[in-house]
Chain A
Amino acid sequence: MPLLSVKDLRTCFHTRNGIYRAVDGVSFDLERGETLGIVGESGSGKSVTCYSLMGLIPQPPGRIESGTAVFDGVDLLRATPAQTRAIRGKRIAMIFQDPMTSLNPYLRISEQLIEPLLIHEKISKAEAMQRGLAMLEAVGINDAAKRIRYYPHEFSGGMRQRVMIAMALITRPEILIADEPTTALDVTVQAQILELIKKMQQELGMAVIFITHDLGVVSGLCDRVQVMYAGRIVETADTRELFRTPRHPYTRALQQSIPSLQAKGAELFTIPGMPPDLSKPLAGCAFAARCPQAADRCRHETPGLTAWKPGHEQACLRVQAGEI
């Protein structure tokens, strides 16, 4: 049985300009100890998917229209506030893109770091401080005994992200959701943080959902990848499989448009046009308007995810029909 099973998740935002379907029927399973990458461009619904699971969608304007997300017998989307409190920050933790805005600037690191322990475990403050210190050392902060008394502004970006990771992992969660944790960081610091996440995952045996727009990051870190476009999953496969034989035209286009370090071409491959406006009803495949291989029926029929081979699913009508 999977650790987390998401079925047909639909999250909409009711705005003045219409109903914006940010996540439009997303289903996936997460196994214990697995690293799942969710890749997509801005507005593809990758963050909203995870915010929905964590109960972080502001309602209104957001609304979870349908779906289930079962974690250990509890449907996260319909959990009571008490159930949510027992899971969020304890068994499922999350780290965010910008470590500057996700730490409270008024509180010392120590208070923020041990807060989850004081809430979720019956533990004295002294003991919690001990565990906090150990955790700070584990995430590679030197001189932790002194630095635990610092305020967030006294740390650099990379250090703050380490503190965020320490805070998320202090309760030994079963799932860590990482929402673009390295996007705001420099490459050399990004390399440090990725190594750290890998190391902590091995030590704690947790599952990780890693949201990113960078296919390079995914290739080194994730066991499985799912590619999202316009609120839907268009392809999901084992990482090696996905990079070796991408089937969906969008995945292929995404891969080709990276100015890779390996080859210096004259002209970069580009995807014409822009992602669709999600506030307008979408007939057929969301990628059809930009797809070089789109046929007539791509504009009317909505494709579903089907297995192309075991463990490799994709949502392109023409691939499913064996035409491309």
Chain B
Amino acid sequence: MADTILELKDVRTHFPIHEGFVIRRQTGTVKAVDGVSLSVQRGEVLGLVGESGCGKSTLARTIMQLVPTTGGTVVLEGKNLTAGSTDEIRAVRHDLQMVFQDPFASLNPRMTVFATLAEPLLVHGRCTAAEATGRVAELMQLVGLAPRFMQKYPHEFSGGQRQRIAIARALALRPKVIIADEPVSALDVSIQAQILNLLSQLTRKMNLSLLFIAHDLSVVKHISDRVAVMYLGKIVEIGRAVDVIEHPRHPYTRALVSAIPVPNPEIERTRQRIVLPGDPPSPINPPAGCAFHPRCPHAAEKCRAAVPALRPDGGREVACVRLGEF
């Protein structure tokens, strides 16, 4: 598409496992992210879902260049971040910002809201010290916080308010892409709804692109234009949010959608639910072929043979060799 802002090509992030104390040697590799390709358009919200350990947070950190990539490229507006020097990365970092899951851990407890929000502005020379107060007040209003709380510390705020501060910090440099790693998982339902509304308002207002990572499909469906489903370091299905979540095609997406309890007893008690056996396998020693085959209700012999690639399937892409056979 024409207006791609962030593009990932075959991104791989592997972590070596070392054993031994005197004679240290590598005994294995954790393939946390293993060949992910996707793109984010300007102004688009891309949801990324998967269970814990599937590599979604590692992918976020890889895009941010917080962990080194093993292979592949991350291209932000034509600039290849994976090949860039530290200085080059630093020069584009302001375009790429992150919001973390736990607002209790991601804010410095010894910095006031003002100090937290003014720091990026001053470091990047976006305003003078004299202008900072005004800019911080604007930012606070943008995320729905009263500027009179500027001199307060994080512990004086509730979880929802802290997440607003974290969002304001990410917005301070007017980035083009925001990566939000489970930004609402730690919040109660009523607060979660407030933060979701805020995020979708801001993306529209500022024409931001958002990579929204979550394990809760209903949240992802609500906020995203497109959704990517990850399993064991790979994307197994990607397409329009409504398509993927209402009519999932990959057996794993189907099971994931069916596992969410529906808050309606009439539906919940009559519907057919797919309960997957076992736990997700270890990314140290992934099963041969399709990583999902040991838990898949439709697995056949050929699923063990080769790793399935993403193939186009009516406006979306699905990585399953038996697609259309069940």
Most chain-B Cβ atoms within 10 A of its Cβ — which of A186, A187, A253, A255?
A187
What would 12 more interface pairs be, CB under 8 Å, given A253-B190, A259-B219?
A41-B188, A186-B280, A187-B215, A187-B259, A194-B261, A216-B268, A258-B189, A258-B218, A258-B263, A259-B196, A262-B264, A264-B242
> Quick check: A220 and B269 within 8 Å, CB to CB?
yes
Are B265 and A243 neighbours in the complex by a CB distance under 8 Å?
yes
A42 lies within 8 A of chain B by Cβ:
yes
Q: Are B189 and A220 in contact (CB under 8 A)?
A: no
- B193 lies within 8 A of chain A by Cβ: yes
CA distance A216 to B265 in the complex (A): 8
Beyond A41-B190, A191-B275, A261-B217, whether A268 also contacts B259 by CB under 8 A is no
Known: A156-B279, A259-B222. A220 touches B193 (CB 8 A): no
Cβ contacts A170-187/B at 8 Å (1 or 0 each): 000000000000000011
Residues in chain B near residue A240, CB distance under 8 A: 265-266
Q: In the complex, are the beta carbons of B190 and A188 less than 8 A apart?
A: no
Total CB contacts across the A-B interface at under 8 A: 123
Q: Identify the A interface with B (CB < 8 A).
A: 41-42, 156-159, 186-192, 194-195, 213-220, 239-240, 243-244, 253-255, 257-262, 264-265, 267-271, 274
Q: How far is the CA of A303 from the CA of B5 in the complex (A)?
A: 55
Find out whether the CB atom of B193 lies under 8 angstroms from the CB atom of A259: yes
Query: Contact: B261 with A219, CB < 8 Å?
Result: yes
8 contacts between A and B (CB under 8 A): A158-B279, A187-B216, A191-B273, A219-B261, A220-B262, A261-B217, A268-B193, A271-B193
**Inter-subunit contact B218/A259 (CB<8 Å):** yes
Chain A residue with the shortest CB-CB distance to B54: A186
Closest A-chain residue to B188, C-beta based? A41
Number of interface residues of B (CB under 8 A): 44
Given contacts A192-B276, A254-B190, contact A264 B222 (CB under 8 A): yes
Any A CB within 8 A of the CB of B158: yes
With a CB–CB cut-off of 8 A, which chain A residues contact B196? 259, 268
Within the complex, the shortest CB–CB distance from A261 to chain B, in Å, comes to 5
Q: How far is the CA of A253 from the CA of B190 in the complex (A)?
A: 8
Interface residues of B (CB under 8 A from A): 51-52, 158, 160, 188-194, 196-197, 215-219, 221-223, 241-242, 245, 255-266, 268-269, 273, 275-277, 279-280
Q: State the CA gap A269–B261 with chains docked (Å).
A: 20
Contacts of A156 in B (CB 8 A): 279
| A186 and B51 in contact, given A159-B279, A216-B262, A216-B268 (Cβ under 8 angstroms) | yes
Which listed residue (A42, A188, A215, A265) contacts B255, Cβ 8 A? Answer: A188
B263: A residues at CB distance < 8 A: 215-216, 218-219, 243, 255, 258, 260
Q: How far is the CB of B264 from chain A (nearest CB, A)?
A: 6
- For the complex of A and B, list the 5 residue pairs with the smallest distance between their C-beta atoms, beginning with the closest: A216-B261, A259-B222, A186-B51, A220-B268, A41-B188
Docked pose: A254 CA to B276 CA in angstroms: 30
- Chain B contacts of A244 at CB under 8 A? 266
**Cβ of A213 and Cβ of B189 under 8 Å apart?**
yes
Residues of chain A within 8 A (CB-CB) of B215 are 186-187
Q: How far is the CA of A48 from the CA of B265 in the complex (A)?
A: 27
| A261 contact from B190, B197, B260, Cβ within 8 A | B260
Q: Which of B193, B273, B277 contacts A270 (CB 8 A)?
A: B193
Residues of A within 8 A of B276 (CB): 188, 191-192
Minimum CB–CB distance for A287 against chain B, Å: 11
Minimum Cβ distance to chain B for residue A308 (Å): 18
